[in-house]
Amino acid sequence: MPENNDPICPCCMERHECRIVREQESGTWRGVSAVYEAEYFWCGLAETYYVDERLMEQNYNAMIQAVLEKEKGNDLSSPHKRE
């Protein structure tokens, strides 16, 4: 039987490949709301999203960056301002 080198999914505790999916999220920081792109792991066996510490920090930083851009007038969630 071939060895499965996939990591153990912390969501369902089975060995399988977990996909990374991107979702539009909104968040508020310092009283300013902004839309940003967040990344999550998707466990197809449990049919749920989850994040590890790395993605949680990455998503938090994306939210802060979106708020800072919005404060500068470069709202990245506005389609007419995207390049």
pLDDT tier at 78 (50, 70, 90 boundaries)? low
CA atoms within 13 Å, Cβ hemisphere of 24:
5
CA angle 38, 18, 21 (to 5 degrees): 25
Give per-residue pLDDT as tens, 4-62: 788 889 899 999 988 999 999 999 999 999 999 999 999 999 999 999 999 999 999 99
Q: How far is CA 21 from CA 55, 58, 61, in A?
A: 11, 13, 17
Q: Which residue has the higher pLDDT, 4 or 66?
A: 66
DSSP-derived secondary structure letter, 15: B
| Cα 82 versus chain centre, distance | 20
* pLDDT score for 10: 87
Give the integer Cα–Cα distance in Å for 29 and 74. 16
What pLDDT is attached to residue 73? 85
- Residue 75: per-residue pLDDT: 63
